[in-house]
Structure 1
């Protein structure tokens, strides 16, 4: 005798709740699509504006080949259009120099912050400290609280300090201030990573003859590597987008791309097409990082939740 299961229409059954479930899912997906549109529209506007002329910008045309015909004017102003890419261009040389400065400052500061921050986080995770009334958790929160401090408060001290140390308009000075800027985030991420690693692994390594540094380098770091990669990528993104200190502490030699984007203003107004072209070239590396390294970022930031 075959036994068949028929859908039940009783209140509380799965089939009776299906319309409500579908409605809830539809609303959630609609909200997500709307939020994705809101988040991605500035990027779309920036990219399309780099192919507009002044008339199209002022009239608010949005859809290429429908509202306006794309033009290479913005990219031509940088020497990056198809008809100028092979010819010498001082503007293109300046852009590439600012691009190189952004890479050096962001990568150098992120590497230094991860190097110092991982050591500080390991100490806060494995040892007990007492400084005045502050214990380990208070010290960790003190580091994180530095992000609340407005950068403008540090403008005068940094100007005076960098002038006396001859660090104004230098990449080394920019790397140092960027390191201080992202160091609290690195310490916070890495401390959570180290807290999830069992202390017994290091104790076993010490019993086998490893020193504290040996246990840290051979046992702890390989396990915490995803968190270090995530902290490094996040630091690069934050340093790449930083504008205040780059505009304050540089003048010509160490300028970065955000400063170059903001400089596209003159007596005749804002060159929207040039600004959009520079901004598009500036955000493309971050877009590529988000696309190809997303799994490493997620894996590093969620490693503490699954171990």
Structure 2
């Protein structure tokens, strides 16, 4: 009588060895599953919290003022484009759109021309005191400068022109660009410039041919953020602009009167202001993220 060992492979009646049973994977802990559910629910809640005002603004822009106040017509109503016709045709909002674009574009371009070389010098020559001054200018509330600015520029007969708007926007855009570009230049290896100088380039030539092309992503980030700030700025334009240089955020304020508020026109104008910025942010978000995180892992 033959005794089979426990380690001996059992055979079927056909003489073929049995297939080993599949190993069961251990079940994931309940805490991990609950955490995933909580994370998805929190993400949905945050998205709804951010999107709900924009969705309400879009719906209100397609309603009359009577329908906006009627809660029964919150989602089911007869849409109308009268508000957009009032904004774009009768109130000549295309002029205000051009004014906003011109001020934002010129202030951003000049801030990049001045801010990028300044940030490079502060980064490469470790100018910590200058960087501290730039940071201080970044955190100073802009409203505290409106009265001095208005006094100075009114004496210079500049209030109401594009120049004063561009200069006032550059006060905030320039420190922002310098602050972002300093971090970006810190993340670039210094050995690249040293190799270029060994090959015969001057320090300025190494900056122009090596460092500047590598910093395009950082400049794009700084420029986009500066443009968005200038496009949305209301406070500076309200005090320093004139009837011919009025920007979109100030023009929106015209729908608010002492006796009533034209909510339909106000929401249509707000939609016109918001859509270009949303499109820019949607297509340039990778540059914004890469530029804002540049230098975060250095060292």
Shorter-chain TM-score above 0.5: yes
Deviation at 1:139, TM superposition (A): 3.0
Deviation at 1:215, TM superposition (A): 0.7
**Is residue 61–residue 83 contact of structure 2 (8 Å, CA) maintained in 1?**
yes
Deviation at 1:301, TM superposition (A): 2.5
How far, CA to CA, are the matches of 2:225 and 2:110 in structure 1? 13
1:177-256 equivalent positions in 2, closer than 5 A: 177-256=168-247
Deviation at 1:26, TM superposition (A): 1.0
SS at match of 1:169: coil
Residue among 28, 46, 68 paired with 2:57: 46
How far, CA to CA, are the matches of 1:110 and 1:4 in structure 2? 68
SS at match of 1:252: coil
SS at match of 1:266: coil
SS at match of 2:245: coil
Deviation at 1:152, TM superposition (A): 2.0
**Is residue 226–residue 303 contact of structure 1 (8 Å, CA) maintained in 2?**
no
Q: How many residues align?
A: 281
Pick the structure with greater CA Rg. 2
How far, CA to CA, are the matches of 1:152 and 1:303 in structure 2? 30
SS at match of 2:139: coil
Counterpart of 2:133? 142
The two structures, once aligned, show a CA RMSD in angstroms of 2.0
How far, CA to CA, are the matches of 2:173 and 2:41 in structure 1? 35
For the pair 1:57 / 2:68, whether they are aligned, the reply is yes
Residue among 277, 284, 302 paired with 2:275: 284
Deviation at 1:43, TM superposition (A): 1.1
Counterpart of 2:123? 125
SS at match of 1:230: helix
How far, CA to CA, are the matches of 1:206 and 1:289 in structure 2? 38
SS at match of 1:270: coil
How far, CA to CA, are the matches of 2:154 and 2:175 in structure 1? 25
Deviation at 1:161, TM superposition (A): 1.4
How far, CA to CA, are the matches of 1:36 and 1:219 in structure 2? 41
Residue among 68, 74, 79 paired with 1:70: 79
Counterpart of 2:24? 7
Counterpart of 1:23? 34
TM-score, with normalisation over the residues of structure 2? 0.87
Alpha-carbon spacing, 1:36–1:208, altered in 2? closer, same or farther (3 Å): same
Q: Provide Cα deviations, 1:28-83, integer angstroms capped at 9, x if missing partner.
A: 1111111111111111111111111122222346644x2x22122311322x4xxx
Deviation at 1:304, TM superposition (A): 3.3
For the pair 1:274 / 2:265, whether they are aligned, the reply is yes
For the pair 1:263 / 2:254, whether they are aligned, the reply is yes
For the pair 1:116 / 2:102, whether they are aligned, the reply is no
Alpha-carbon spacing, 1:281–1:216, altered in 2? closer, same or farther (3 Å): same
How far, CA to CA, are the matches of 1:28 and 1:188 in structure 2? 33
How far, CA to CA, are the matches of 1:7 and 1:176 in structure 2? 69
How far, CA to CA, are the matches of 2:283 and 2:73 in structure 1? 28
Q: Provide Cα deviations, 1:56-111, integer angstroms capped at 9, x if missing partner.
A: 222346644x2x22122311322x4xxxxxxxx452xx301110010011111111
Unaligned runs of 5+ in 1: 10-14, 81-88, 130-135
For the pair 1:33 / 2:37, whether they are aligned, the reply is no
More displaced, 281-290 or 52-61?
52-61
Alpha-carbon spacing, 1:207–1:290, altered in 2? closer, same or farther (3 Å): same
Deviation at 1:5, TM superposition (A): 5.4
